[in-house]
Amino acid sequence: IHSEGVFEPFANEIEDGRDTTEWIVEQGWANGRIGTWGGSYDGYTAMAAAVDNDLVSAVMADDSPPDLSFDIQGGVLGLHLLSWRYLLDHQDWMPEAITGTATNTLDLTTLDNLILGYDDFLLTDFLVAQHPDAEYFESRGIRERFDQICAPTFMVVSFSNGVMLPIWQAVVDSDCNRDSDERHFMFVTPDEHCEHMGYVMDGSTEVASLMMDFIDHYVGERDV
């Protein structure tokens, strides 16, 4: 909320992550080991911060997308992107009245005003592309750079998000990880979107407890 500049998701996360980790290691309280973690978009930023960045010691991502393609379902534009933007603006999900109005409109160019109340450059950019291809998504994500994530990874995929599987495979198959795949973990669960990430600090689910062990081992002072 108080950051400078314009928030442009899926565009600057690699550079922002590098700047943040470089700042952290200069602080007196840092032990030199940095773990990045998060669910959904926050998990995307966690992965982006680790791209070609040897300052990152471990990465945890729960149900995280590789780029903007997550909002294309069967070739059709969904409302996930704009509903998420609404959540960021209002700290609450959009009400059913707005959802109903948005899903019944035939003019996609008005969706941003119907949902957000203003022209959203991200939707405009998306629609101008008309039929987004791999090159477009490459410019709005890190799909082509997963092989540059060389830190140990812990990824969780729920029933609602299968895109994490190829991400994990690309990381494991990369040159920097091929001989050390025992450091990379993938858990597939039947749970809700990002459910386990919300319980990491108290370890109240088995997966969340394993997440904490992973962070303790690679970032903390405890050998697990």
CA distance 35 to 147: 18
pLDDT band for 88, please (50, 70, 90 cuts).
Answer: confident
Q: Report which of residues 133 and 146 the model is more confident about.
A: 146
Compute φ and ψ for 26, nearest 5 degrees.
-85, -10
Where are the extended beta strands (E) located within 63-152? 72-73, 76-77
pLDDT in tens, 170-193: 888 888 876 665 688 888 888 888
Tokens of residue 1, six digits: 């909320």
pLDDT in tens, 22-52: 999 999 998 889 999 998 889 999 999 999 9
Does an H or E element contain 19, and which?
helix 13-25
- Tell which phi-psi region holds residue 206, choosing left (phi > 0), alpha (psi between -120 and 50) or beta: alpha
Spatial CA neighbour of 41 closest among 19, 23, 67: 67
> What does the pLDDT read at residue 148?
92
Spatial CA neighbour of 66 closest among 171, 172, 150, 151: 171
Contacts of 38 (CB under 8 A, 6+ apart): 44, 45, 46, 60, 61, 62, 64, 197
pTM greater than 0.75 (yes/no) = yes
Answer for the pair 53, 33: CB distance below 8 angstroms, yes or no. no
CA distance 196 to 39: 9
Does an H or E element contain 48, and which?
helix 41-50
Q: Between vectors from CA 37 to CA 33 and to CA 41, what angle results, nearest 5°?
A: 145
According to DSSP, the residues that pair with 187 across neighbouring strands are 156
Tokens of residue 9, six digits: 């998701």
